[in-house]
Structure 1
Amino acid sequence: MGDLEIRPATADDIPAIVAMLADDPLGAQRESPDDLTPYLAAHARLAADPQQHVVVAERDGRVVGTLQLTVIPGLSHKGTTRALIEAVRVHAEERGSGLGTQLLEWAIDEARRQGCRLVQLTSDATRTDAHRFYERLGFEASHVGFKLKL
C-alpha cells in the first residue's frame, strides 16, 4: 500500500466522500450521491468555520477515508473544550487495513492540539462492529443519545 496522507477535504473530494457516506445500508437510505449540490454547500460552510475539520485520507491519489472533527468550547466540566467525531467512513476496499485506526488517532491527536480535554462520538445503535472498534480504541459507551428530526 502507498503512503497515506490525511488532509483537509476540498470541494473536489465531495463525490468520493458522499460515495463512502452512501456505501452502507443506513447511508444508502439517507444520502443522494446523484445530487452533490447540498453537500457542496455544506462543505463551503464547514470550510469557513475554524472549529470544523473535515478531512480525507488519501492513498496513491485516491480518497479512501474521511471523518469530521468538531471542536466545541463549553462551560460544563470547568469550561472544558471537547471534540466531536462524526461521519467516519473507510472505503470498502480499505476496511480491515488499519486505516480507521489511523483516522481516529489523527482526530484524537488534533483534538489534543486544539486544547480539547474530551473526545466524544456517536454511532448508530445498529453499528455493532463500529462499537467494538471504538471500544478497542479506548472509547467507552457512557451516555444514551437522543435525536429530534426537524
Structure 2
Amino acid sequence: MEPRTTFVLNGSRFLLRRAVEEDLSELIALLSNDPLRRSENSTRPEDRSAYAEAFREIERDPGQLLIVVEDETHEVVATLQLTFTPGLARRGAKRMTIEAVRVHERLRGNGLGSSMIEWAVAEGKRRGAAMVQLTSDRARTSAHRFYERLGFTQSHLGFKLILDQ
C-alpha cells in the first residue's frame, strides 16, 4: 500500500506521499536549508548524482520509506525518512527510526510537523514496529521540546563515528 494522506491545517491542504525521484531537487533544497547541516548538503548541480544514487538505493530497500509532503501548489514543503529494522533484541522486536525530518521554515509551528510524526508513528504500528526511535542534534533544543510534546522521551546517549568517504 502506497502511503497517501491528506492533512488540512489552518485551511490549507497538504498531501503526504512517498517521494519520487522528480522530488529530488526540492528534497535537496529542504535538507540544505538547515544551519546545522548546511555544510553537509549541497544544491550544486555537480553533486546531484550522489543524491540520485542515494535516492535510488533508498527506493530499492523495502526497509526504507522516504516521505514528502506537498502543499496545494504541489511544492514539496516537508520530508522525513523511516527505516524499519528487524532485530533480535526485545524478543525480536522491529524498530522504526525517523530521520531527516524537515519542514519548510515558513510552515513551522502550524501543526504540519506534528501531523507528520503522528502519521509516522501510526505507519510504524501498521508495519509491526514495537518502538519508534529518532536522534536529534543536541543543539536543536526546540526540536527536543517538539518531540517531547509528542510523547518521545530522551532515553539514550548517542555516539557517532564519521568515516572518511
SS at match of 1:96: coil
Structure 2: runs of 5+ lacking an equivalent:
1-10
2:62 to 28, 47, 50: 50
Question: How big is the shift at 1:2?
Answer: 3.1
2:123 to 99, 110, 116: 110
SS at match of 1:103: helix
Q: Deviations over 1:35-89 (max 9, x none)?
A: 2211111010000111100000111111110000000001000110010000000
The one-letter amino acid of 2:69's match is: A
Give the match for residue 40 of structure 1: 52
How many corresponding residue pairs? 150
Give the match for residue 66 of structure 1: 79
Question: How big is the shift at 1:3?
Answer: 1.6
SS at match of 1:26: coil
Query: 2: CA distance between counterparts of 1:91 and 1:37?
Result: 24
Query: 2: CA distance between counterparts of 1:49 and 1:24?
Result: 26
Check if 1:12 corresponds to 2:22. yes
Give the match for residue 105 of structure 2: 92
Q: Quote the sequence identity (%).
A: 48
- Compare 24-33 and 69-78 and name the one that shifted more: 24-33
TM-align CA RMSD: 0.9
Give the match for residue 33 of structure 2: 23
Question: How big is the shift at 1:28?
Answer: 1.1
Q: Deviations over 1:2-51 (max 9, x none)?
A: 32111000111111111111112112121011122111110100001111
Query: 1: CA distance between counterparts of 2:51 and 2:137?
Result: 21
